[in-house]
């Protein structure tokens, strides 16, 4: 899933990057290198128990290879200046930390957002690790981009389930591009159209399709009887009675 990011500094957009957003299945070095070859930055998720290390901050011993790994990252070793925000909701405290750390399976330093959730009643603690190879990506943008993954997946689900993304039989590049773009366009268009049909109550794409299909067929039947379909208002009971296949009742 591609996201175009424009980080801001003091209210001024100063650079733009394309980010490839993926879940934890691609949260590994192989996935990162694949994405980097395409000129993109990866935004993904590490295993919660991943072993991470702060860069070594000590002095060089004077011989051998300089130390790369410093103290291991744990909830208790998170520095105070890494805290970016803290909220409490329903006895659960959520802390957001941003650090640059090493993972032994990655050749490059990682920009990691550590999300720590602590139950104030039971004392139980859980954490999540979001990361990117873009070391300058702010923590809030990193979180926002990762959250977009879910909405993008919902859009693809709707395109496949309702608008033919998995049904077209084209094999030529232009035809495949047109079919895919049309399916995704209809996802967006249907989201804009649903609120305009008050009787649907913004409930279902299936209801939206059933409504317009029924009205189209009803108009054709009326025209075939030498009647003027335009004389029937769009919300006329004749059209509403023909809306077979809807899941939800009309909203009064």
Same domain for 57 and 103, yes or no, is: yes
Q: What is the pLDDT along the chain (252 residues), one digit of tens a residue?
A: 555 554 443 333 333 458 888 888 778 999 999 999 989 999 999 999 999 999 998 887 777 788 899 999 999 999 999 999 999 998 999 999 999 999 999 999 999 999 999 999 999 999 999 999 999 999 999 999 998 887 777 888 888 888 888 888 888 899 989 988 999 898 888 888 877 766 555 567 777 777 777 777 777 777 777 766 565 545 555 555 555 555 555 554
22 in the same domain as 137: yes
pLDDT for 174: 92
Question: What whole-number distance in Å separates Cα of residue 93 and Cα of residue 244?
Answer: 49
**pLDDT given for residue 154 in this prediction:** 82
d(CA 218, CA 99): 62
Q: Does 246 fall in a domain?
A: no
Co-location of 79 and 167 in the same domain? no
pLDDT at res. 117: 95
List, in sequence order, every residue forming a beta bridge with 94; answer none if it has no partner.
87, 117
Do 142 and 132 form a contact (C-beta atoms < 8 A)? yes
Domain count of the fold of the chain:
3
CA distance 207 to 239: 14
Q: What's the confidence (pLDDT) of residue 5?
A: 52
Query: Tell me, what's the pLDDT at 43?
Result: 93
Contact criterion met (CB below 8 Å) for 129 and 112: yes
Tokens of 173: 């590049």
pTM: 0.64
Claim to verify: residue 180 and residue 216 sit in the same structural domain: no
Residues 21/41, Cβ–Cβ less than 8 Å: no
In a domain, 247, yes or no: no
The confidence score (pLDDT) of residue 196 equals 74
For residue 94, give the H/E element and its range. Answer: strand 92-103
Q: Which domain holds residue 201?
A: 197-241
Together in a domain, 113 and 67: yes
What is d(CA 85, CA 81) in angstroms, rounded to the nearest whole number?
11
Question: Do 190 and 148 fall within a single domain?
Answer: no
Instruction: State the pLDDT at residue 12.
Output: 33
DSSP 147-214: HHHHHHHHHHHHHHHHS-TTT----SHHHHHHHHHHHHHHHHHHHHHGGG-GGGTT--HHHHHHHHHH
User: ∠201-205-210 over CA atoms, to 5°?
Assistant: 90
At 95 the pLDDT is 96
Pairing of strands 41-46, 17-21: parallel
48 & 82 share domain: yes
Are 31 and 138 in a shared domain?
yes
H helices, E strands: number in the chain: 5, 11
Rounded Cα–Cα distance for residues 249 and 104 (Å): 57
Residue 250 lies in a domain: no
Q: Give residue 153's pLDDT.
A: 79
Whether residues 71 and 149 fall in one domain? yes
Q: For residue 236, what pLDDT is reported?
A: 56
Q: What is the pLDDT of residue 13?
A: 33
């Amino acid at each position: 899933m591609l996201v175009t990011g424009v980080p801001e500094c003091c209210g001024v957009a100063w650079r733009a990057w394309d980010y490839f957003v993926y879940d934890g299945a691609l949260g590994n070095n192989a996935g990162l290198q694949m994405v980097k070859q395409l000129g993109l930055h990866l935004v993904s998720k590490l295993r919660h128990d991943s072993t991470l290390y702060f860069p070594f901050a000590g002095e060089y011993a004077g011989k051998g290879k300089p130390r790369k790994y410093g103290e291991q990252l744990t909830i208790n070793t998170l520095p105070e200046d890494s805290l970016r925000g803290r909220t409490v909701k329903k006895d659960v405290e959520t802390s957001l930390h941003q650090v640059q750390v090493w993972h032994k399976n990655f050749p490059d330093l990682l920009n990691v957002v550590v999300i720590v959730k602590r139950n104030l009643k039971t004392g139980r603690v859980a954490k999540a690790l979001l990361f990117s190879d873009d070391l300058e990506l702010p923590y809030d943008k990193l979180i926002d981009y990762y959250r977009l993954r879910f909405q993008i997946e919902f859009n693809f689900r709707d395109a496949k389930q309702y608008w033919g993304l998995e049904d077209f039989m084209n094999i030529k590049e232009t035809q495949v591009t047109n079919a895919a773009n049309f399916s995704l366009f209809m996802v967006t268009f249907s989201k804009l159209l649903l609120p305009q049909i008050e009787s649907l109550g913004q409930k279902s794409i299936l209801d939206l399709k059933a409504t317009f299909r029924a009205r189209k067929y009803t108009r054709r039947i009326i025209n075939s009887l030498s009647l003027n379909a335009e004389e029937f208002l769009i919300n006329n009971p004749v059209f509403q009675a023909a809306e077979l296949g809807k899941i939800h009742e009309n909203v009064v």
